[in-house]
Amino acid sequence: MKVSEKEFQIRTQAQELSEKGKTAEAIVLIDEYEKSLKLPMHYILYEYRGSLWALSEKYPNAIQDYLEAYRIHKTNESISSLGLCYMYM
């Protein structure tokens, strides 16, 4: 699955925010983007937001995003991330 230019920009901006310790702002950025769409986001954005939720120790939210990512495109990363979230819970 190809990532659109806009999705790439959102992912990059979210990563920059996260690296500055602004995890909550990075999550909001992705949330706002998702609200603007008529279709689901690219699975990579769900996986990344899931990792941000996991860093915030909000594992149920992370699980929801990892499951959505897996529903769209099955990856080993989604499965292993789901397992880690369940383990930490």
Question: pLDDT digits over 76-86, tens only?
Answer: 999 999 999 99
Distance CA 85, CA 61 (A): 10
More confident residue, 77 or 1: 77
Contact call for residues 29 and 37 (beta carbons, < 8 A)? no
- What is the pLDDT, as a whole number, of residue 3? 87
Please state the pTM of the whole predicted model: 0.92
Tokens of 63: 């699980």
How much is the average pLDDT of 33-54? Answer: 95
Cα 60-62-43 angle, rounded to 5 deg: 140
pLDDT at 18: 97
d(CA 67, CA 73): 10
Contact status, residue 55 vs residue 25, Cβ threshold 8 Å: no
Query: What phi and psi values does residue 58 have, to the nearest 5 degrees?
Result: -105, 70
